[in-house]
Chain A
Amino acid sequence: MAKNRKAAKPHMHDHEVHVRAVEEDLEYYRTKRFEPRVIYFARRGAVTFYDLLKANPSPKHTVKPSKARKGMEARIRALEDGLDDYVRGFGLVSSLPVKGIEMVIEDTRKERGDYDDFFRIAKKEHDGTLEQRIARLERDLRDCKTLLDAFAQALLRKGLIDQKEFRRRQEALSAETEWSGGRIVARAWVDPEFKANLIATGRQAVRELGIPPGRLGKLGVVENTESVHNIVVCTLCSCYPHDLLGDTPWWYKHDSYKQRIIRDPRGTLEAMFHLRIPPSVEIRVHDSTSDVRYMVLPQRPPDTEEISEEELAKLVTIDSLIGAGDALHPSRRKEAERTERVRPVYA
């Protein structure tokens, strides 16, 4: 499983990298987040397997015959968009309070087998040609969405979640907002007082930008400098301040990254991310627990003195907040536009 694959930012001329990213991401959300929740609810009789079978099949998930005519790139983009929908839908459903059930993240870890292999949910084989893998993903994504629909329908039908609140959050999710991560870093670059406050108080500081601070423990902010480069990992699971900064890329949650980055941080940054850190710069690996989740404050790129705060925010990448990359030089901004998929998690 831990082959020497590039986890670098995908370019669409490398279709395989994009397909692999969707496979890994879908598997993560299915086996580590959604199915454990379904099982937990079934055990407690809140949403039983029989409730799920009663769901009305959603018409938008039926097979469209024209699919075969689309080019590979269009099909991959459709998969990525479809996956985003699935993840947002899951985020929405799991963010709502449920009558009689209080599930915390630790319950999910137990239910998916983090502490006992007995509870692990089986992964699928992702073999075959690229065409076969794409077709399999199209079927699997459809199935995943069908189950998610059935789960949401059962919760609504049984009055376990509030219909009005569901609609309200659904609308809020579809509203376009600026990515918080970019805004936070850009403000830290232009305002030294904000930066000091961010480092000292973490989540509370972001309220100044009208960003909800979130509640997932404390935020640790570690600043990259001329002499220190920071990189974040959660070796035990995949903790990250995702409620504030959005989803992590699939590789952050993957054993191949977690094992390699701790054993050889310098070599792994170069091999996996093409990030060469000079020998004079110390690399610090921050291994998070669930209670203090870390964000890297990347260095401000050169030649950005004349750029507005809004434009500066667009130079910040998801990778740079983990430490797997630097913030972009303005000349590389266009290159990043279509390759970054920021997926906020509704918390």
Chain B
Amino acid sequence: MGDQVRIKQENPVGNPRTPKHIRGKKGVIVALHGVIPNPQDHRGLYSPLYTVLFDVKEIFGGSSHDKHRVDVHEEWLEAE
């Protein structure tokens, strides 16, 4: 919690489960959800899920003070 992270800049084939616009951007972890079984949605389990807080400014530029909270899986996070 409270760790600064950067989202990896990658373009995998298949389901990325991570939006393009946050790749390469910096944010702060604000929640830990862990591994979530969801058999109705997908087979197997994904890596632990975190909520990362970004400034809209940081992602899209401009002067907004608004925020994004994006749920991102662990394998997409790099320590900053």
* Partner-B contacts on A (CB < 8 A): 104-106, 109-110, 114-115, 215-218, 235-236, 262-266, 282-292, 347
Contacts and interface: CB of A to CB of B under 8 A. Distances in A.
A256 to B, nearest CB: 16
A266 B43 CA distance: 37
Contact of A287 (B13, B40, B69): B69
B67 A104 contact: no
Interface of B (DSSP majority class): loop
10 contacts: A115-B15, A215-B39, A216-B38, A262-B56, A264-B62, A265-B64, A266-B64, A285-B56, A291-B38, A347-B40
Interface size class of B (residues with CB under 8 A): 20 to 34
B33 A284 contact: no
B19 A290 contact: no
Interface in B1-40: 13-17, 19, 21, 33, 36, 38-40
B2 to A, nearest CB: 17
Given A106-B41, A235-B19, A289 B71 contact: yes
Given A291-B38, A292-B36, A115 B13 contact: yes
B66 A285 contact: yes
Interface string B46-76: 1001010000100110101111111111000
Contact of B15 (A106, A286, A288): A106
A114 B69 CA distance: 23
B7 to A, nearest CB: 12
B32 to A, nearest CB: 11
A132 B16 CA distance: 40
A283 B66 CA distance: 5
A347 B51 CA distance: 26
B41 A291 contact: yes
Given A283-B67, A284-B67, 17 more contacts: A104-B40, A104-B43, A106-B42, A106-B43, A115-B14, A235-B19, A262-B68, A263-B60, A265-B56, A266-B64, A282-B66, A283-B66, A286-B69, A288-B71, A291-B46, A292-B51, A347-B40
A114 B14 CA distance: 9
A291 B21 contact: no
Interface of B: 13-17, 19, 21, 33, 36, 38-43, 46, 49, 51, 56, 59-60, 62, 64-73
B36 to A, nearest CB: 4
B41 A217 contact: yes
B39 to A, nearest CB: 7
Contacts of B69: 284-287
Given A217-B38, A218-B33, A292 B43 contact: no
A68 B52 CA distance: 55
B54 to A, nearest CB: 9
Contacts of B39: 104, 215
Contacts of A263: 56, 60
B64 A264 contact: yes
A292 B21 CA distance: 20
Nearest to B49: A291
A308 B73 CA distance: 42
B45 to A, nearest CB: 9
A285 B70 CA distance: 8
Contacts of A218: 33, 36
B71 A284 contact: no
Nearest to B62: A264
B66 A292 contact: no
Contacts of A288: 71
B40 A282 contact: no
Contacts of B14: 115
A290 B40 CA distance: 10
A274 B7 CA distance: 33
A236 B46 CA distance: 16
B17 A289 contact: yes
Contact of A290 (B21, B38, B68, B72): B38
